[in-house]
């Protein structure tokens, strides 16, 4: 049974619609507001699967920030591609989700999680991936990731994807998981968006997928 997404409450406590747009229609200031600078999203800038080598050793904060801005194509509504979606609530930029072709994440090719027990063509340009969520401080805990995950499905389909994958964590009631670990999302979020589990490579990680063909 598909999990139901929680309703989203705005600043006034009433349910509000989350407006989600491609990141190239957002500004660099909007992304900066979402990611911040103090915790994991602000430090990583959604580059964990893109930096070749060890992210903290082989890249600088300025380089990671520049990489995100360049791939997102902020402020260029005519850009041919972008690396994610941005959510707005009550006119404020509140959330980000990374979604683009799987080959855009070179680090994925050498990791255990996407490939254990699977026989996938790692160079298949038609398969897209959802790799990262970032929710702005002050707006967390409202179920924004459910809406962001759901939006990736239509976005990937419209841009010609044959399939869309995610690599979420399994969360257990009463067991704390740090923000840094759950930046990939949690299983119930993708279940609600229609993804199905295709492999279970580690005790706490699954691969989930939507096929469009």
Stretch 78-89: mean pLDDT? 97
Q: Is the pLDDT of residue 131 over 50?
A: yes
Q: How many CA atoms lie within 13 A of 61 on its CB side?
A: 10
- Predicted confidence (pLDDT) at residue 121 exceeds the cutoff of 50: yes
Choose the weakest-confidence range: 11-15, 101-105, 122-126, 188-192: 11-15
Classify burial at 197, counting beta carbons within 10 Å of its beta carbon; exposed 0-12, middle 13-18, buried 19 or more: middle
Considering the domain 19-211, what is its CATH architecture? 3-Layer(aba) Sandwich (3.40)
* CB atoms inside a 10 Å sphere around CB 126: 15
Helix (H, G, I), strand (E, B) or coil at 184: helix
Instruction: Write down the pTM of the prediction.
Output: 0.90
**What pLDDT is recorded for position 108?**
92
| Beta carbons of 32 and 86 less than 8 angstroms apart | no
The three-point CA angle 42-176-86 to 5° equals 35
Domain boundaries, the chain: 19-211
Question: Of 157, 31, 9, 13, which Cα lies nearest the Cα of 86?
Answer: 31
pLDDT tens readout for residues 133-187? 999 999 988 999 999 999 999 999 999 999 999 999 998 766 666 656 788 999 9
């Amino acid at each position: 049974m598909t999990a139901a997404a929680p309703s989203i409450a705005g600043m006034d406590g009433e349910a509000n619609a989350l407006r989600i747009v491609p990141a190239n229609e957002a500004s660099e200031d909007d992304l900066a507001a979402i990611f911040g600078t103090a915790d994991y999203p602000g430090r990583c800038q959604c580059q964990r699967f893109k930096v070749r080598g060890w992210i903290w050793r082989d890249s600088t904060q300025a380089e990671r920030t520049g990489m995100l801005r360049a791939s997102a194509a902020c402020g260029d509504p005519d850009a041919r591609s972008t690396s994610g979606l941005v959510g707005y609530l009550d006119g404020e930029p509140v959330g980000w989700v990374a979604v683009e072709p799987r080959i855009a994440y070179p680090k994925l090719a050498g990791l255990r999680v996407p490939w254990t027990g699977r026989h996938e063509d790692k160079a298949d340009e038609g398969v897209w991936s959802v790799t990262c969520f970032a929710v702005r401080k002050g707006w967390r805990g409202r179920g924004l990731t459910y809406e962001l995950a759901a939006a990736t499905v239509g976005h990937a389909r419209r841009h010609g994807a044959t399939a869309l994958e995610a690599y979420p964590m399994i969360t257990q009631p009463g067991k704390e998981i740090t923000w840094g670990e759950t930046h990939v999302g949690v299983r119930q979020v993708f279940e609600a968006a229609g993804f199905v589990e295709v492999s279970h490579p580690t005790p706490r990680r699954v691969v989930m997928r939507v096929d469009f063909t």
